[in-house]
């Protein structure tokens, strides 16, 4: 199974540049993005490079905490819904509403995504076709891709194919691209609704989407299609929708005060509910999509999105100098948030290939005659180091060159948070 979310905004994992009423960047949103990518990376490094079970207490704690990293994908979705909806809503009066939005999305998302596909489908396949020694059959099988799977990947609908055929229909290093496909499909539809509907009607549509997604996940689960319930766009749109609700309430003082009031009351119950659902499903160590569970696939995903929506609302509703803002806006989290898109794209292929090559915590502990804990730490350290190296190189040598196109007059936009949005003290 693969869990992870893609980035949205100016940096495909919501990487849009949100600004304060004064036009300054809001560091807390970069920090939230950093939290999301760290959750996803720790999850995949655990799922692929370390043992899922162990006799000691620390192994059980690590398994539980790392196994909760699947929630990071929904944090990405909620943040996407918040950022993209805000950008679109504030730009509704723009003369070139669609051109600017789709132009900037294309410049930010397509270059890295298609470069990754070209590397995997062309470069890697070519190399393996000419290497006859040193590559195991398991390694070759793990990256074999059928023409139909490639077609779904190139057209950003890989999530539907995975839902129909299961996780194994897609090579493991690319399985997490399902969330990138959901993001792109969201971009295709949502701008039209934001432009045509009033704020109140948009909020009503968001609640309808949340109800529909919850219901469809349950129906698909009963139809024995748990992967479809986990990866199909309409089944995961509730996290995007609840993020959109936060953005729309943010733009009305009265609604914003009401949202903050309920967020303070319900954020902890939502978290406790999510933990309870996980505790009642011990077989689902890696969350929904691992061992099928009706409550995890329905209520667990819904509670996760609602919890993160409340967290974003509370973070945005605190004064700039508060402890929450300082914590989420610290340089460490903002660093990971800045490079989150490439980190998301590259981290799973890196750890998956290493795992197929025999690089795991068990093997490291055995070869180095060290403890299992040290093996786990080494796996994570090397996984993070390699992923960060690729992300830094990609950003400085490749992605930044494409982002310069955003300075073209045809793609410029003025993105600021509404001045009337209240900040609770």
Spatial distance between the Cα atoms of 160 and 175, rounded to a whole number of angstroms: 12
Distance separating alpha carbons of residues 70 and 51, to the nearest angstrom:
17
Tens-place pLDDT, residues 149-170: 999 999 999 999 999 999 989 9
Residue 198 CA to residue 184 CA, distance in Å, equals 23
Please name the residue that has the structure tokens 């190139």: 154
129 confidence band (pLDDT: 50, 70, 90):
low
In a 13 Å sphere around the CA of 7, the CA atoms on its Cβ side amount to 36
pLDDT of the residue at 123: 85
Output the pLDDT for position 54: 72
Q: 11 by DSSP, 3-state: which?
A: coil
Answer whether 161's CB lies under 8 Å from 170's CB: yes
Name the least confident of 127-131, 279-283, 308-312, 402-406: 127-131
Q: Please tell me the predicted confidence (pLDDT) of residue 413.
A: 74
Token digits for 422? 């209240």
Q: Is the pLDDT of residue 23 over 50?
A: no
Max CA distance (Å), the chain: 67
Check residues 306 and 6 and name the one with the higher pLDDT.
306
Average pLDDT rounded to a whole number, residues 100-106: 96
Torsion angle of alpha carbons 415, 85, 270, 53, nearest 10°?
A: -90
Tokens of 225: 């299609």
Domain spans, the chain: 27-411
The band of 345, judged by pLDDT with boundaries at 50, 70 and 90, is very high
Query: What gap in Å lies between CA 346 and CA 402, rounded to an integer?
Result: 18
Q: What's the Cα-to-Cα distance from 41 to each of 13, 96, 318, rounded to whole Å?
A: 13, 37, 28
The Cβ of residue 388 has, within 10 Å, a number of other Cβ atoms equal to 18
Q: Model pTM?
A: 0.90
pLDDT band at 420 (very low <50, low <70, confident <90, very high): very low
Work out the percent of the chain whose per-residue pLDDT is above 70: 86
**pLDDT of 26:** 75
């Amino acid at each position: 199974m693969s869990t992870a979310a893609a980035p949205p905004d100016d940096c495909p994992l919501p990487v849009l540049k949100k600004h304060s009423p004064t036009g300054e960047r809001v560091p807390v949103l970069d920090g939230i993005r950093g939290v999301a990518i760290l959750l996803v990376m720790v999850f995949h490094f655990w799922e692929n490079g370390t043992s899922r079970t162990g006799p000691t207490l620390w192994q059980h704690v690590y398994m539980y905490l790392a196994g909760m990293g699947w929630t990071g994908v929904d944090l990405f979705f909620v943040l996407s819904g918040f950022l993209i909806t805000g950008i679109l809503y504030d730009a509704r009066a723009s003369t070139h509403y669609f051109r600017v939005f789709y132009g900037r999305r294309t410049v930010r998302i397509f270059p890295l995504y298609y470069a990754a596909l070209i590397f995997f489908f062309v470069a890697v396949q070519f190399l393996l076709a000419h290497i006859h020694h040193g590559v195991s059959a398991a390694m070759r099988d793990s990256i074999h891709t059928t023409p139909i799977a490639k077609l779904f990947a190139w057209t950003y609908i890989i999530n539907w194919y995975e839902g129909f055929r299961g996780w194994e229909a897609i090579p493991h290093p690319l399985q997490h691209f399902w969330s990138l496909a959901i993001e792109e499909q969201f971009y295709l539809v949502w701008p039209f609704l934001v432009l045509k509907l009033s704020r109140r009607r948009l909020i009503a549509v968001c609640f309808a989407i949340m109800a529909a997604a919850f219901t469809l996940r349950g129906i698909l689960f009963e139809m024995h299609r748990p992967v479809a319930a986990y990866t199909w766009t309409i089944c995961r749109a509730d996290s995007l929708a609840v993020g959109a609700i936060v953005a729309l309430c943010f733009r009305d003082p009265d609604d914003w005060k009401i949202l903050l009031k309920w967020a303070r009351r319900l954020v902890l119950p939502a978290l406790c509910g999510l933990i309870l659902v996980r505790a009642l499903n011990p077989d689902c160590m890696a969350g929904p999509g691992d061992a099928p569970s009706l409550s995890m696939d329905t209520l667990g995903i819904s509670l996760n999105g609602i919890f993160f929506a409340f967290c974003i609302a509370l973070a945005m509703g605190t004064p700039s100098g508060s402890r929450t803002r300082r914590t989420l806006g610290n340089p460490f989290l903002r660093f990971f948030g800045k490079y989150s898109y490439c980190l998301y794209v590259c981290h799973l292929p890196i750890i998956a290939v290493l795992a197929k090559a025999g690089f795991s915590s068990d093997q490291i502990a055995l070869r180095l005659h060290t403890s299992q804990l040290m093996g786990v730490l080494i796996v994570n350290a090397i996984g993070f180091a390699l992923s960060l190296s690729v992300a830094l190189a990609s950003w400085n040598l490749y992605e930044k060159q494409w982002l310069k196109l955003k300075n073209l007059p045809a793609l410029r936009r003025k993105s600021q948070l509404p001045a009337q949005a209240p900040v609770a003290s």
